[in-house]
Structure 1
């Protein structure tokens, strides 16, 4: 992916993924069912943000992707530790746990295809044949029920995810229905902490994902990024923007 190599970010759609939404309609429908039932973000009440999160590890020498079991939890069944690093201005150094991705979804063929495509891009950029690759898999839905409501992502500013120089983030749109807003912005690392309309923000690109499986990738330490709030559209009924976020980085031994 030349844009990711040269500029630190790139956009793509279903054609680049080698997947058509029509041929994967059954698997996409199942993914959307899980998104529709996501629990509210326990750390941001009132933001109309819903999420699940799990870890996986990929072993390049065996071409093996394995989900890491979560920790038992009395409400959510199992949960996984989630940290966005010290660069998160809202939750710096704060330990959080999020409800796991359901076991039944972990074998979804489309979900696995997206994960493996993301991994392929990172392996083509980094010499990681002898190192495990760590994956953080995040399901996020911004949902609004009525006019006047906002649904807000986090952090609500240009930011970096706080990983190593080998950290990459991939985003795949699952659903965008009856909403406005949700614009993505890519900027310089020095713009982190600013709003996109701040005169000091140095913007590379601004765009809105509209079609199923539209997406973008960022090399975390080379850019900052942001997604704007979504608001109810003009049609009656609720609206939502659901997206799959995959963070990938070389596994770092702790000993």
Structure 2
């Protein structure tokens, strides 16, 4: 049984696990793409930058299909809904700048998405419909001493999607940015407010493609704010977040 299934979370090293000819070149393309991410329009003051796109995994063929975006004022956007699970944006749809097509074709990104999918587990009846995939590129970046870059939400939380995975792209001159995994009941709290027995693990992603995944109903999770370390230059923490959820079929009922 996988750790994700037995413990509710698992930690991975995808640079090693996904090794193939060309992986470092594909990784460099992703790394460079993070340099020019647009600011998160929903929190421009929090030093957070992001793009987002949506896809489907077809369980029978194990194929990946990217979904179309919406166009507004000449820019491509993808819509995201997290229901009640993000206390900073409860019950609201958000639209993020979409990931560019040439990045969606990146072999490493596609391998990561499918490797994550292979870690997920579903009932047999759930796999008659496509699995929805949300892909977030998120960068926390700080230029000035004393400033912070903050993830959303800034507390232990659950996402609402059955599975979420995080993959480190870069960590440079960063103080903070710790990850924590806790029991579900500590959602809404900071790790330091939680009893030791209610925290499964506190850790830090350091190397490219160090990763973790959570089964949402079993745990809560958190990443702390990013601040400048002791070196010259910006503090940067870039990750790819990938979530998976079922196609929901509406219960029409009797008329």
Fold similarity call, TM over 0.5: yes
Three-state SS of the structure 2 residue aligned to 1:114 is: helix
Which residue pairs with 2:163 in the alignment? Answer: 168
Q: Which residue of 2 aligns with 1:83?
A: 81
Query: Is the 2:82–2:92 Cα contact (8 Å) retained in structure 1?
Result: no
Mapped to 2, the partners of 1:253 and 1:97 lie a distance apart of: 23
What 5-or-longer segments of structure 2 have no aligned partner? none
Counterpart residue number, 1:251: 247
Deviations 1:53-111 (A, max 9, x none): 11100112222200001000115x21111122202111101221111011110000110
Deviation readout 1:126-179 (Å, 9 max, x if unpaired): 53542211100000000111321210000000000023xxx1001110011111
The 5 A counterparts of 1:108-147 are 108-123=106-121, 126-127=123-124, 128-147=126-145
Aligned-pair Cα RMSD in Å: 1.8
Counting only pairs closer than 5 Å after superposition, residues 50-129 of structure 1 correspond to structure 2 as 50-74=49-73, 77-123=75-121, 126-127=123-124, 128-129=126-127
Are the aligned partners of 1:191 and 1:200 in contact in 2 as well (CA < 8 Å)? no
Distance 1:15-1:144 versus aligned 2 partners, 3 A rule: closer
Residue 242 (structure 1) aligns with? 238
2:178–2:204: 8 Å Cα contact kept in structure 1?
Answer: yes
Moved over 3 A (4+): 125-129
How many residues get paired?
A: 249
Point out where structure 1 has 5 or more consecutive residues left out of the alignment. none
Aligned partner of 2:12 in structure 1 is: 12
